[in-house]
Structure 1
C-alpha cells in the first residue's frame, strides 16, 4: 500500500513539474515585454492607464522590437506592430489566428455569450452568422436595394446641415449630422423601417450610451474574481442599459415578424428586405436547429448598428476635416465631380457615377490610411501553438494588431503623417494597394484575413457617396479665426478631440 502511494505521489509530482516547466518554457519564448508580477500583470499599470496604450506601445516598440507582450492582469496579450509579421500571422497562418479570446464571465451577457459575429469563436456559429450577413445584406445585389434609402438619408443629412447653418450664420458642427444620418440609414437596413426622428434618437441614445459606458468594464481584466465585486455598480448600470436596449429593439423585431406573416402577395415588390428578416430565418444546427433567441437578435442588431454607424461617421468627419484644411484638395475633387456629372442639376450624384471618380476614391483611401477609425482591430486569439518569427504564440493567447502603426509605416509611405490623396493615383506609391492585405499589408483599416470586416464594400460605398454629394452640395470652409484641430481622442472609435466646425456655403440652387 505504501509502495503504491509512493508511486502515485511521484507521478503526480512529476506531472506538476512538467506542466510548470512547460509553462515556464512558453513564457520565456513569448515576445519580450516589461516586467510583470503574477495576477496583477505588468508593473507599469501602477502608474499608467490602458487609455495610454498607444503611447505605451510606441515606447515598448523602441525598446523591445515589433512584437511585444503585455500582461493585463493575469492574461498575456501580444501586440504586433510590424506589417510583415502581421501578414504572416493573419494570412499565412490565417486559420490559427482567427479565433477570439474568451470573454470574462461577468460581461458575457453583452454578446449573448459570444453569439455575434465580432466575438464568436472561430467555428460553425461564426461561419453561419457571417455568411448570413455577407450573402443576405452585404452582397452587391442586396446593397442596390437600399439605393432609395441612401437617397432619403442624404436628404435628411442636407436638411440637418442647412438647419444648423441657418441658425449659426453658416457654421455647422458636422459630426452631429453625420452620426444621425448614418444611424437613420443603418436603422432602415436593420429593421426595414423609416422611423421618425424621435424613435431614431431613442435607439441612438440607448446604443451609444451602452457602447461608451461598457468601456468602463476594462478594469475587470485586473483580478476578475475580485474586481467584479468592487465594480459591481458598473456591472449593474451596464445591465440596466442592456435591458433598455432590448425594450427598444424587441418591438421592432416583433413588428417585422408580423409584417412578414401578414404581407399580401401583391405587396412583395414593395417589401424592403432587412437584416432582421435574415436573422428570423436562421437556425443553429450545432444547437439542435433552434432559432435565435430575443437576446441574440438584440445583440446582433446592436452589432450591425455599431459596425456601420460609428466607424463610417468617424471616417467621414476626418475626411471632411482634411478637405476643409486642404482647400486645394477639395477643389480638385469638386472639378472631378463636375466633370463626371457634366453640369447635370440632379438632386444627387448617382452611385453609378462614383465608378468614374478615381480622385474621390483616392481621397477616401487616404482618409482611411491617415485616420483609421480604429487604431487596433478586435483582438484575435491563437487556436494552437504557433512559432511566429522565432516567438511562441501559445494556444489561447490574445493577439492585437496595431492598425495605425502599419498605416503610418515610413518604409512604405513617403511623409506618412501628411494627407496626400495623390499617392493612390496612377504613379503614386499606393496606387496598387490592396486594402484586403491578401498579398501584402500596407494599410489595414478593415483588418486582414479571415476576420476582415465583412462590411468593407458597403463602408467604401457609403463614404464615396456621402463625400461626393457633400462636396457637390456645399463649399466647405474654415470658420474665420479657427484652425482645424486634428488632435485625436479615443471613444468607441478614434475621433476628433474637438469636433469639426466648418462654414458651409451652398453651391447649387435648392431643388
Structure 2
C-alpha cells in the first residue's frame, strides 16, 4: 500500500535522448524551473539518502524545487501530527500525476489516487466497510489458514531441495498474494494462473517507476517509447483480469449454477457501486484498476515486513526463542490460529518493533495541500507536495530510547508505546495517518502476526551461510527490501539432527 521517489538517472530515458538530456539538464540547471533536480542527480545517491543528508543539515522541514513541483519534506513527529491530524483535510490531496500513471488508475479512479472529495469517499467507504472491517476480515480466516498451510509446505519442499535453505521474501510474498487474489475475486486459482497474475502485477509496478518527466513535463515528448510500453502493459492487464470479472458477473447472475459456491469477494462490492457524483457503475476498466489496487497494496508491503522480521529473529536468537516459548505456552502442540494471536503479547511487541525499525516504505504516499496554509509556522503554498521521511521519526532519539536497537521489550514491558495510527500522538506511522491512512492497516497486521507465528512455530531460523552476519542495509524495489535478499537455513521444530 506505498510509493517513493527513486533516484532517477539518464537510464530512465530512452537511449537516443541520453546526450540531449545531459546537455539540457546542464543548461537548464541555471533556470528556476529545474530547481534541485540537478543536485539530486549529481549527488549519485538514492533519493532517500539524499533527503537523509539534507534533514541532518537543514532540520525536520525543508523544501526542494523538483522541476515544476514544490516538494516539502517532513521528518518530525509533531509536524506530521499537525499536518495529518490537526489539518487533515488540507493535506488530504494527491499530486497531479504523469499521464502514464493515469492509464493504470483510470484517471484517478482508485482509493489511493482519487482526488479528495465525493468520489474518494465513496471508494474508500466501500473498501473499508465491505472488505476491511474487523468482522469482514474474520470471515476470510479459512483462506488465510489454507494459505499458511501452503506456505509451510512450500518452505519444507524448498528446504528439502536446497539443503535446508529457503528464500524468505519470495515465499512470504507468494502466500500473501494468494490470499489477496482469493479475497479479491472469490475463487481459487491454480499456481500457473497465480504466477501469471503476479508477473502482470510486477510489470505494472515497474512501469509506474518515477521518471524525470514527472518533474519536467517538457521532456515528455522524449518518453514516447515508455508511454507505448505502458499502454501495452495496461492492455495485458485488462486482457488477463477482465475475464475473471466477467466470470464473476455471470456467476452472481446465476446463483443456481456451480459457480454460486464461490466465496464473497471484493469484486462483488464493486459491480453496482454507487459513487457520489456519478450516474453509472464502474466500467470493466475501472474494476480492473480497483482490483489491482487491492492486490498490489497489500502484497509487497506485508512480505517485506516478514523478511525484515525473520532477519531480526535470526540476528537475535534469544528473541526468537522467547517468541517460540510464548507460542508453545499459548497453543501447546496444535497449530497457531488467528484467535491465538490476540493472547501473544510478545509477538505483538515484535511486530510493532519491526514496523518501527523497518517500515515498508521510506516515504508515505505523497500528500498535496488543497489550499494555502502554514505548517510549523512556515507558509505552505496550495498544490505543494508533502513527503514524509519515516526513518526521521521512527529513529528519532527525542522520542525513542536507543532507537537504533531492535528491542521488542520497549513495547512488551511497557517502557514505551505508540499508536501506529498516529491519532493520539505520532511516534511511528508505517501506514500513514489521518484521512489518507492506509485502509488495509488491520488486514496487514493480521497477516503479519499470523505468518510470523506460523513460521516460527514450525521452524527454527538461522543464518545462511552459517554464522554469517545479517546485512541490514535496504534498497527500494516497490518497497524497502533487504539489499541482499534474505536466505535462511530452517530446521523443523523437534528435529534434533
TM-score by length of 2: 0.90
Looking at structure 2, the residues matched to 285 and 411 of structure 1 have their Cα atoms a distance apart, in angstroms, of 44
Residue 501 of structure 1 and its aligned partner are, at CA, apart by: 0.9
Looking at structure 1, the residues matched to 400 and 40 of structure 2 have their Cα atoms a distance apart, in angstroms, of 33
Residue 508 of structure 1 and its aligned partner are, at CA, apart by: 5.4
Structure 1, 57-66 or 115-124: larger mean CA deviation:
57-66
SS at match of 1:369: helix
Structure with greater helix percent: 1
Partner of 2:237: 245
Residue 87 of structure 1 and its aligned partner are, at CA, apart by: 0.6
SS at match of 1:356: coil
Residue 142 of structure 1 and its aligned partner are, at CA, apart by: 1.1
Asked whether the 8 Å contact 2:360–2:480 carries over to 1, the reply is yes
Residue 393 of structure 1 and its aligned partner are, at CA, apart by: 0.9
Once the two structures are superposed, residues 149-198 of structure 1 have per-residue CA deviations (whole angstroms, 9 ceiling, x without a partner) of 01111111112111110111111111111111111111001111110000
Looking at structure 2, the residues matched to 56 and 115 of structure 1 have their Cα atoms a distance apart, in angstroms, of 33
Partner of 1:284: 275
Asked whether the 8 Å contact 2:40–2:47 carries over to 1, the reply is no
Find out whether 1:230 has 2:222 as its counterpart: yes
Once the two structures are superposed, residues 265-292 of structure 1 have per-residue CA deviations (whole angstroms, 9 ceiling, x without a partner) of 9997x542101111112123312x2010
Residue 214 of structure 1 and its aligned partner are, at CA, apart by: 2.0
Residue 472 of structure 1 and its aligned partner are, at CA, apart by: 0.5
Partner of 1:337: 327
Larger Rg computed on CA atoms? 1
Find out whether 1:388 has 2:375 as its counterpart: yes
Structure 1, 404-413 or 477-486: larger mean CA deviation:
477-486
5 Å-filtered alignment, 1:143-182, equals 143-182=137-176
Residue 58 of structure 1 and its aligned partner are, at CA, apart by: 2.1
Looking at structure 2, the residues matched to 442 and 108 of structure 1 have their Cα atoms a distance apart, in angstroms, of 33
Partner of 1:326: 316
Looking at structure 2, the residues matched to 265 and 213 of structure 1 have their Cα atoms a distance apart, in angstroms, of 39
Task: With a CA cutoff of 8 Å and minimum separation of 6, indicate the structure with the bigger relative contact order.
Answer: 2
Aligned residues: 465
Looking at structure 2, the residues matched to 331 and 201 of structure 1 have their Cα atoms a distance apart, in angstroms, of 35
Partner of 2:445: 460
Find out whether 1:484 has 2:474 as its counterpart: no
Looking at structure 2, the residues matched to 116 and 470 of structure 1 have their Cα atoms a distance apart, in angstroms, of 34
Instruction: Please list every run of 5 or more consecutive structure 2 residues that lacks an aligned counterpart in the other structure.
Output: 1-28
Partner of 2:82: 88
Asked whether the 8 Å contact 1:385–1:392 carries over to 2, the reply is yes
Query: Per the alignment, do residues 401 and 138 of structure 1 end up closer, same or farther by CA in structure 2, a change over 3 Å counting?
Result: same
Find out whether 1:220 has 2:249 as its counterpart: no
Find out whether 1:129 has 2:116 as its counterpart: no
Looking at structure 2, the residues matched to 321 and 243 of structure 1 have their Cα atoms a distance apart, in angstroms, of 38
Query: Per the alignment, do residues 309 and 266 of structure 1 end up closer, same or farther by CA in structure 2, a change over 3 Å counting?
Result: closer
Residue 418 of structure 1 and its aligned partner are, at CA, apart by: 1.4
Structure 1, 356-365 or 393-402: larger mean CA deviation:
393-402
Partner of 2:413: 426
Asked whether the 8 Å contact 1:190–1:274 carries over to 2, the reply is yes
Query: Per the alignment, do residues 310 and 266 of structure 1 end up closer, same or farther by CA in structure 2, a change over 3 Å counting?
Result: closer
Asked whether the 8 Å contact 1:212–1:491 carries over to 2, the reply is no
Partner of 1:495: 481
Residue 471 of structure 1 and its aligned partner are, at CA, apart by: 0.5
Shift >4 Å, 4+ stretches = 265-268
Find out whether 1:257 has 2:254 as its counterpart: no
Find out whether 1:473 has 2:458 as its counterpart: yes
Structure 1, 446-455 or 473-482: larger mean CA deviation:
473-482
Once the two structures are superposed, residues 37-63 of structure 1 have per-residue CA deviations (whole angstroms, 9 ceiling, x without a partner) of 3222214135136x6222222222233
Find out whether 1:138 has 2:132 as its counterpart: yes
SS at match of 1:291: coil
SS at match of 2:211: helix
Structure 1, 366-375 or 101-110: larger mean CA deviation:
101-110
Find out whether 1:312 has 2:302 as its counterpart: yes
Query: Per the alignment, do residues 390 and 168 of structure 1 end up closer, same or farther by CA in structure 2, a change over 3 Å counting?
Result: same
Matching residue within 11, 25, 39 for 2:33 = 39
Looking at structure 2, the residues matched to 350 and 389 of structure 1 have their Cα atoms a distance apart, in angstroms, of 46
Partner of 2:428: 443
Partner of 1:297: 287
Once the two structures are superposed, residues 350-398 of structure 1 have per-residue CA deviations (whole angstroms, 9 ceiling, x without a partner) of 1111111000000000000000011111011111111222211111111
**CA RMSD, aligned part only?**
1.7
Once the two structures are superposed, residues 112-141 of structure 1 have per-residue CA deviations (whole angstroms, 9 ceiling, x without a partner) of 101101110110111000000101111122
Partner of 1:4: none
Matching residue within 51, 72, 77 for 1:78 = 72
TM-score by length of 1: 0.88
Looking at structure 1, the residues matched to 30 and 198 of structure 2 have their Cα atoms a distance apart, in angstroms, of 41
Partner of 2:11: none
Residue 478 of structure 1 and its aligned partner are, at CA, apart by: 1.4
Asked whether the 8 Å contact 2:187–2:262 carries over to 1, the reply is no
Residue 209 of structure 1 and its aligned partner are, at CA, apart by: 1.9
Instruction: Please list every run of 5 or more consecutive structure 1 residues that lacks an aligned counterpart in the other structure.
Output: 1-34
Once the two structures are superposed, residues 455-503 of structure 1 have per-residue CA deviations (whole angstroms, 9 ceiling, x without a partner) of 1111111111110111001111112153222120111100011111111
Residue 445 of structure 1 and its aligned partner are, at CA, apart by: 0.3
Once the two structures are superposed, residues 76-105 of structure 1 have per-residue CA deviations (whole angstroms, 9 ceiling, x without a partner) of 111111111111111111111111112133
Partner of 1:27: none
Structure 1, 459-468 or 382-391: larger mean CA deviation:
382-391
SS at match of 1:290: coil
Looking at structure 1, the residues matched to 363 and 101 of structure 2 have their Cα atoms a distance apart, in angstroms, of 21
